[in-house]
Amino acid sequence: MARVADVHTDLDGSGGGADWAAPSIDEVTVLVTGYGPFLDQFPVNSSWSIASSLPARLDPTPTCPTPIRLVVPNQYLKVAYHPVIAAVPTLLSDEYSDPSPDIILHIGMASGRTYYTLETTAYRDGYDRLKDVEGMTFSKEENEEIWGECPPVLQPGWDVDDVWRRWRGDVRGHLDLRPSTDPGNFLCGFIYYASLSTLWKANRKSEQEEGVLGEGGPVRADGETSNVHVQDGERTSTKWPKKCVMFLHVPDTDKMGDVSNGVEVAEGMIRALVESRRRGLCGDVVDGSHTIGGKKAQRKERDLKKMC
């Protein structure tokens, strides 16, 4: 299936007529993951229905002139803590695909919602309450062993306002898109925090080994210098970060009968992420504890059980 989401807002003022020609820009690789069945009432997980329906490539458009290669695993992720925590280092490794993914987009289902959400925050704690499909939780002791050094709240290094604006402009207006600070503390929030913490720890290790500054500027999560320059108060970068992560929550699209809408939403999100990154608006994973007062968003357990 080769399709391109409709473009309804020209964010760059670049037009988009029939005579538009894509500039020469290096291809970007995006890894997209989805989850498998969970709970008896969800034998089909719409996150995987959407991820597995994506095309192999997205062609350049006026609002996203970058050619995009999509990589989707052959198998969905199991809705289980320990298989996921074991899989994350592989998903984030440079050896996962050739070329290696520049962006990782995790997709999960929030069946209690009827809208799509850009998740801007991930939480370290709270995965010891809800059992996964293997009947297991992620204990406080395991949490402390793996993430004890990590902040309780992490946020991706995206300029989320820019991503949101581009995403909203690339998707048809009747589809309900929203930003969110609540990925839940079941497997969706779990993989998001696991991925962000992996990058955060890599950056911290690089700083300890090489010093806070590398030869060309601040050291990023992948251990390379970012070549950040400041002129007249403006920050610009000549090197993109190697890995950026984002999480997209989708409703139960299979039940709603609109998987194609979910594919359009995911494609729009991918284009928004790629273009925002191309403009240097994705940096290091950041400690979000102070941003939101160090408190988790209020959540109801009955809603959490519907998020995966």
Task: Determine contact, residues 133/78, Cβ cutoff 8 Å.
Answer: yes
Instruction: Kindly report, residue by residue over 187-239, the tens digit of the pLDDT.
Output: 999 999 999 999 999 888 766 666 554 444 443 443 343 333 333 333 333 34
User: pLDDT averaged over the chain?
Assistant: 80
Q: Which residues contact 14 (CB under 8 A, 6 or more apart)?
A: 20, 62, 63
Rounded-to-integer distance, Cα 22 and Cα 36, Å: 37
C-alpha 107/C-alpha 180 separation (Å) is 14
Tell me what pLDDT residue 231 has: 35
Contact 81, 132 (CB under 8 A): yes
What's the pLDDT score for residue 242? Answer: 67
pLDDT at 173: 86
Tokens coding 218:
């601040």
Question: In this predicted structure, what is the pLDDT of residue 144?
Answer: 97
Residue 4 has what pLDDT?
A: 28
- The one-letter code for the residue type at 288 is G
**Can you give the pLDDT at residue 308?**
59
**Reported CATH class of domain 28-304:** alpha beta
Domain residue limits, the chain: 28-304
Residues of the chain with pLDDT under 50: 1-18, 20, 213-240, 293-306
Q: In the chain, what is the greatest distance between 2 CA atoms, to the nearest angstrom?
A: 60
Residues in Cβ contact with 12 at an 8 Å cutoff, skipping those fewer than 6 apart: 62, 63
Q: What is the pLDDT at residue 240? A: 41
Report yes or no: 106 and 195 within 8 Å, Cβ to Cβ.
Answer: yes
Q: What is the pLDDT of residue 95?
A: 87
